[in-house]
Amino acid sequence: MKILYLTDQVYLHGGIEKVLSQKANHLAEVLGDEVTIITYNQQNKKPSYSFSSKITFLDLGVNYEIAQSYFHLKNIKKVPHHISGLKKVIQHLKPDVIVSSSFGPDFYFLPYVEKCIPIIKEFHSSRYFYKKTGVNLKGKILNYLNRFTEKRYSQLVVLNEAERGFYDSDKITVIPNPAQISGEKATLQSKKILAAGRISPVKDFASLITIFFHLKNEFPEWELHFFGENYGGTQEKLEAQIKEYGLEKSILFKGVCNDLKSEMVNYSIYAMTSETECFPMVLLEALSVGVPVITYDCPTGPQYIVQNAEDSFLIPHKNLDIFTEKLKHLMRNEDLRKEMGDKAIVNVQRFGIDQVMQQWKDLFRSLY
């Protein structure tokens, strides 16, 4: 089968890029499909994750101004080049199916560029707060345009059942992200807590820092480490909070990591305090190496990944008291961490890449 993936770029470290590499590699290496990935903002940079040599890459060289809205005049002027370039590639490749991975200008015109080939749009973020953006006229127009366009796709793919209800289309399939299961396992003896993701307000790392501050006197040897890229000056604000608490030696920012899962084996707890998460890959990675998770039950993803009181603690959203209590319980009890870690490795098997990619193949075939 000839499968064409569309995305903006693959040089940044992010969930979409990581998942795309896993899926494309499996299709090309294991299932023997002919996979092509088309980008439009790659700018001759190297991919951040490893891709099979059997995968073909093409970049359209549109190079939108990512600091500006896609609706900014500077970017709108580049859309015709994007459309014409994409048309030529599709006509040349004649793929059996097209999958749009990221969200960019092509979302709006792709269903009209090619009407004979099945086109799938996959969504990686939660729609939970989506309606709140439509309170003004501009937001209402954009919401209407998005929903009108979504109905033009052959199929929409969302990451969990809760997300299905946020779309008007009746052509929706739920397929979770895959977990990479490598056999690595954490010892869970270190006195270190890990949190990861883009250092941005939506991750609400400030709450986790506050929780850790309340526990520091009781657990003076423990440390909290953040992995991720700074966004919009958020890290500087968090560093000021850390300094105010006097925790500069206990809370560290470790930057971007090319292989986060290999780092995870050095930690004993994974903590998440996000405002919203659709299907966080980091939870799959933590569970796959036997690191117990403590996470808010934020909308909408964690509840579909972790097994509360088995491999993780799922905390009522924004309840700092319960989060603090359960985190303390994990920090104090190494045997509990190991018991939950063993269950995590078993439970995460349901997200194995063989199972997930079979769902994708079934979807591809169903569109013919």
Q: What is the pLDDT of residues 314-343, one digit of tens each?
A: 999 999 999 999 999 999 999 999 999 999
Q: What is the per-residue pLDDT for 132? A: 56
Name the 3-class secondary structure at 203: helix
Percent of the chain topping pLDDT 90: 85
309 and 337 assigned to the same domain: yes
227 and 358 assigned to the same domain: no
202 vs 115, more confident: 202
Summarize the confidence of residues 112-141 as an average pLDDT. Answer: 82
> What CA–CA distance (Å, rounded) separates 96 from 71?
31
Tell me which residue has tokens 């850390």.
Answer: 242
The widest CA-to-CA distance across the chain, in whole angstroms, is: 65
Q: Grade residue 147 by pLDDT with cuts at 50, 70 and 90.
A: confident
> What CA–CA distance (Å, rounded) separates 305 from 310?
12
Whether residue 317 contacts residue 346, with contact meaning beta carbons closer than 8 Å, is answered with no
Residue 52: give the domain boundaries. Answer: 2-178+352-366
Summarize the confidence of residues 214-232 as an average pLDDT. Answer: 96
Q: What is the per-residue pLDDT for 131? A: 56
Tell me the H-state helices in 186-280.
205-215, 234-245, 260-264
CA distances from 86 to 12, 59, 75, 89, 180 (A): 22, 10, 16, 5, 32
Inform me whether the pLDDT recorded for 181 exceeds 90. Answer: no
Residue 101 in tokens: 């991975």
Q: What is the per-residue pLDDT for 136? A: 74
15 and 133 assigned to the same domain: yes
Summarize the confidence of residues 338-350 as an average pLDDT. Answer: 97
> Does residue 187 fall inside a structural domain?
no
> Does residue 183 fall inside a structural domain?
no
> Does residue 309 fall inside a structural domain?
yes
Q: What is the per-residue pLDDT for 127? A: 85
Convert the pLDDT of each residue in 238-247 to its tens digit.
Answer: 999 999 999 9
> What CA–CA distance (Å, rounded) separates 178 from 176?
6
167 and 213 assigned to the same domain: no
Q: What is the mean pLDDT of the chain?
A: 94
> Does residue 184 fall inside a structural domain?
no
321 and 208 assigned to the same domain: yes
Q: What is the per-residue pLDDT for 133? A: 53
> Does residue 97 fall inside a structural domain?
yes
Stated pTM of the model: 0.89
Q: Number of folded domains in the chain?
A: 2
296 and 362 assigned to the same domain: no
62 and 144 assigned to the same domain: yes
Domain CATH code at residue 155? 3.40.50.2000
170 and 212 assigned to the same domain: no
Tell me which residue has tokens 């250092």.
Answer: 199
231 and 169 assigned to the same domain: no
Q: Minimal CA–CA distance to 341: which of 291, 303, 307, 280?
A: 291
Inform me whether the pLDDT recorded for 41 exceeds 80. Answer: yes
- Give CA 7 to chain center in angstroms: 14
> Does residue 74 fall inside a structural domain?
yes
Summarize the confidence of residues 69-87 as an average pLDDT. Answer: 94
Lowest mean pLDDT among 9-13, 332-336, 339-343, 347-351: 9-13
74 and 15 assigned to the same domain: yes
Q: What is the per-residue pLDDT for 111? A: 94
Let me know the angle formed at the C-alpha of 78 by 74 and 81, rounded to the nearest 5 degrees.
170
Convert the pLDDT of each residue in 260-314 to its tens digit.
Answer: 899 999 999 999 999 999 999 999 999 999 999 999 999 999 999 999 999 999 9
How many residues in the chain?
368
> Does residue 71 fall inside a structural domain?
yes
Residue 82 in tokens: 């994007």
38 and 174 assigned to the same domain: yes
150 and 220 assigned to the same domain: no
> Does residue 155 fall inside a structural domain?
yes
Q: Grade residue 134 by pLDDT with cuts at 50, 70 and 90.
A: low
> What CA–CA distance (Å, rounded) separates 263 from 226?
12
Q: Grade residue 216 by pLDDT with cuts at 50, 70 and 90.
A: very high
